[in-house]
């Protein structure tokens, strides 16, 4: 790709890119403003200025000292880990099986899984919540079990793509050498397929970290970070909430930018792209 040297012919392009960049960066800018500008000059004034009139760490300090942050963040972390782990525990065997039964049959199963994924979250969440209450699962374990529903189809599909890219002789050779199926799985198939498995885990993790519908319906109290943030927003402690929001948005942005590299990779093409 050669960069067009004539600056003038690219001018409309630059103007367009600039306008779009502003449109997409502005909400993030507002979040930064609310976090770092002293509240009296900001939220509490009727028309807050667009250019920061002052700078303070007070909001962040206030948020960390007055709001209970460790609880929701730890719970979110546990839930995300459980969801990621379940994705692998259910997804790896399912993907292995799907890789073996022939593509035509496998596709029917995959379509079924994705159809299930289209089921509206709120429709499924309310009956689940009623049943989980009877089972004593109206807590973060219930949330993790329900969130798994959202990520499992995608995880299976990604891991399946990885398995399809592996030569089938690999497994046959291990079996000829006397390894049984669990050993082959543990020693050969999983290590060889680790990038797809990692992507499936990270995507599940991120989806769970972000998930709100199941979390708020199944466990409205003592719940995950998005539900806690929602509670703070409805209680109108906005500048503390914004400090809260900003500090936990930065790591997620980093993960998303890292994942973006993988999103273009082959792992999502079912292993048959080339």
Secondary structure class of 137 (helix, strand, coil)? coil
Q: How far apart are alpha carbons 135 and 149 in whole angstroms? A: 18
Q: How far is the CB of 174 from other proteins (least distance, A)?
A: 16
Using left for φ > 0, alpha for ψ between -120 and 50, and beta otherwise, residue 222 falls in left
Using CB under 8 A, which of 110, 179, 190, 202 touches other proteins? Answer: 110
The verdict on 192 binding other proteins (CB under 8 A) reads no
Secondary structure class of 215 (helix, strand, coil)? helix
How many residues bind other proteins (CB under 8 A)? The answer is 108
113-132 residues near other proteins, rule: CB under 8 A: 113-116, 118-124, 126-128, 130-131
Tokens of 13: 């392009």
Q: Which segments within 83-232 are labelled E, that is strand?
A: none
Q: How far apart are alpha carbons 27 and 188 in whole angstroms? A: 47
Non-local (6+) Cβ contacts of 44 within 8 A are: none
Of the candidate spans 52-60, 64-72, 186-194, 210-218, the one that interacts with other proteins by CB under 8 A turns out to be 210-218
Rounded alpha-carbon distances, angstroms, from residue 241 to 29, 33, 64, 249, 261: 15, 13, 10, 12, 31
The verdict on 52 binding other proteins (CB under 8 A) reads no
The verdict on 269 binding other proteins (CB under 8 A) reads yes
Using CB under 8 A, which of 88, 137, 156, 218 touches other proteins? Answer: 156
Of 16, 48, 46, the closest CA to residue 34 belongs to 48
Of the candidate spans 48-56, 59-67, 77-85, 189-197, the one that interacts with other proteins by CB under 8 A turns out to be 48-56
| Nearer residue to other proteins within complex by CB, 65 or 104 | 104
| 158 in Cβ contact with 199 (< 8 Å) | yes
The verdict on 183 binding other proteins (CB under 8 A) reads no
Using CB under 8 A, which of 36, 37, 42, 80 touches other proteins? Answer: 42
The verdict on 218 binding other proteins (CB under 8 A) reads no
Tokens of 224: 């995950």
**CB count, 10 Å around CB of 118?**
7
| Nearer residue to other proteins within complex by CB, 68 or 234 | 234
Q: How far is the CB of 30 from other proteins (least distance, A)?
A: 5
237-256 residues near other proteins, rule: CB under 8 A: 238, 241-242, 245, 248-249, 252-256
The verdict on 141 binding other proteins (CB under 8 A) reads no
Q: In which element (H, E) is residue 154 found?
A: helix 140-165
5-24 residues near other proteins, rule: CB under 8 A: 10, 13-14, 16-17, 20-21, 23-24
Q: How far is the CB of 180 from other proteins (least distance, A)?
A: 14
Tokens of 197: 């498995």
């Amino acid at each position: 790709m050669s960069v067009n040297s004539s600056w003038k012919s690219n001018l409309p392009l630059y103007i367009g890119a600039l306008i779009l960049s502003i449109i997409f960066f502005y909400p993030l800018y507002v979040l930064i403003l609310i976090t770092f500008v002293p509240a009296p000059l900001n939220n509490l004034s009727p028309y807050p200025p667009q250019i920061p009139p002052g700078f303070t760490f007070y909001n962040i300090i206030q948020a960390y000292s007055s709001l209970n942050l460790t609880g929701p963040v730890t719970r979110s972390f546990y839930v995300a880990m459980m969801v990621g782990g379940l994705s692998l525990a259910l997804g790896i065997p399912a993907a292995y099986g799907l890789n073996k039964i022939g593509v035509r049959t496998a596709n029917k199963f995959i379509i079924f899984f994705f159809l299930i994924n289209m089921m509206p979250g709120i429709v499924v969440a309310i009956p689940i919540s009623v049943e989980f209450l009877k089972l004593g699962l109206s807590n973060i374990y219930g949330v993790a079990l329900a969130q798994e529903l959202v990520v499992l189809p995608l995880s299976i599909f990604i891991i399946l793509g990885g398995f399809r890219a592996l030569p089938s002789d690999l497994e046959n050779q291990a079996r000829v050498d006397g390894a049984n199926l669990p050993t082959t799985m543990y020693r050969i198939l999983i290590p060889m397929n680790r990038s797809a498995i990692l992507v499936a885990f990270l995507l599940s993790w991120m989806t769970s970290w972000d998930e709100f519908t199941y979390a708020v319906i199944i466990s409205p109290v003592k719940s995950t970070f998005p539900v806690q943030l929602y509670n703070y927003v409805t209680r109108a402690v906005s500048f503390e909430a914004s400090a809260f929001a900003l500090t936990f948005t930065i790591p997620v942005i980093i993960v998303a930018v890292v994942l973006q590299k993988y999103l273009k990779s082959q792992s999502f093409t079912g292993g048959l792209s080339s």
